[in-house]
Chains A and B, each alone.
Chain A
Amino acid sequence: MAVGNVAAAAANVRPSRSAASGMSDLAIRNLFIIPTVAFLIVFNIFPLLYSLGYSFTDYRASLNEPANFIGLQNYRELLADPFIWTNFAITAKYVIVSVGGQMIVGFGLAMLLNRSFRFKGLVTTLLLLPMMLSMAVVGLFWKLLYDPSWGIVNYVLAPLGLGHLDWLADPNLALYAVAITDIWMWAPFVMLLSLAGLSAVPQHLYEAAAIDRAGWWFTFTRITLPLVTPLLLIALIFRTMEAFKTFDLAFIMSGLNETELISKRLYQMAFREWQTGKSCAFAYIVLIVVVAITNIYIKYLNKAKER
């Protein structure tokens, strides 16, 4: 009798149902998890492994010829190519300027917005608009702003004696011009995450600091910054990964070699030269670099969380 009660109870429990949706675990697995895993396997994991195989071949998609195994030759050639190292150096410079700028501007804006004032919601929404635009539109839009003859950037800089800068044609300026555009577009993303972090700082900490007559700098460095750091690091990880992969802006805005980021070179190698095997190897080198940088950040993120 007791056994029968337990079985009946178990029958009532299985299959368990989500209280909110009324769907069984089985249905959730079949409807959501299996398609997602299948999608990941077909569109992410399989191409990833397939392209890894190609990276060890001389395969060219433009020719009707089979792929020949050439071992590490593609990797050796790429790592010995001075142009590729130049592309990496340009990309590193771009990432430092662009992400550094986004962090400073984004966090600064968040500090300014982290108080009560009229139309705060409207101002915040307006500041978020750039990141909602398409990269291509932003690139074309800023090309006009940078026009040396009638662009607004030079018009604004004219009183400072800087009204004749040829932003996108000057090899010394072009990369910075693209980075400034990226900062304009993505600083709001950092601002959003920073604002979330700032609003989560317990007010009683500030009250205690005020009672102890702590100065602004002391409060900022000892309370605000440490508590916001984990979110800032998350923003840093996302923005670094994205900046490292930047293609659209540089492709649209400038044709100079000084703006040839690795993604742009990878695109040329894969889809202009049709060096399929070599471009797969290049993509893997880029992947390894991005994963390595991200791991360093994550290590710091974990340390920051432990504090």
Chain B
Amino acid sequence: MLVQPEWRESSDEELVRLTLKYPDAFGVIMMRYEPKLLRYVRTISRASKEEAEDILQEAFLKAYRNLNGFDTDQKYSSWMYRIVRNETISWHRKMSARAEGRTDIYSAEDLSHFASKEHIISKLEQDQLHGIVRNVLDTMDKKYRDVLILKYLEDREYKDISFILQKPMGTIATLLNRAKKQFREVAKRCGTDLELL
């Protein structure tokens, strides 16, 4: 069965149910999440675009195999983020690569979102701010950067971050606090006063 036009309007959870009957419905889920997840893989890894696509393909296949294990109390997107993150970590282990992230694949629009007044207190101009935010994120500890990326770049809620990173909510809150503190300290070392809200 080919992709039905009405499937494009379905929620993720409905698509999961549909996929169990019609595998082609999975195509709609993949198209919905491919850009975001591809960017996420590249942000948390040193993977090239091609490598990131391979990782993502494996992650989608894994998700497909495990569709019956998807907990409908969680968001499908969070489940996908968790699988993609685990797959990226496995890829790093296999490649014995350093799990350093790269923030240069974030567009100016993404960084504007991160560096918006909603998230950051700063007197800098936007363009200048983007560069500094990038540098600061690249310099931070991975565990703190991971949580900041999910919160401010991927716009995930605490509950989702807890599910994706498989850590209790309290631990996520602590990590975020420490991450904000480190963000401020690293920014200060770069000669700028930045405060994450």
> Are the chains A and B members of one assembly?
no
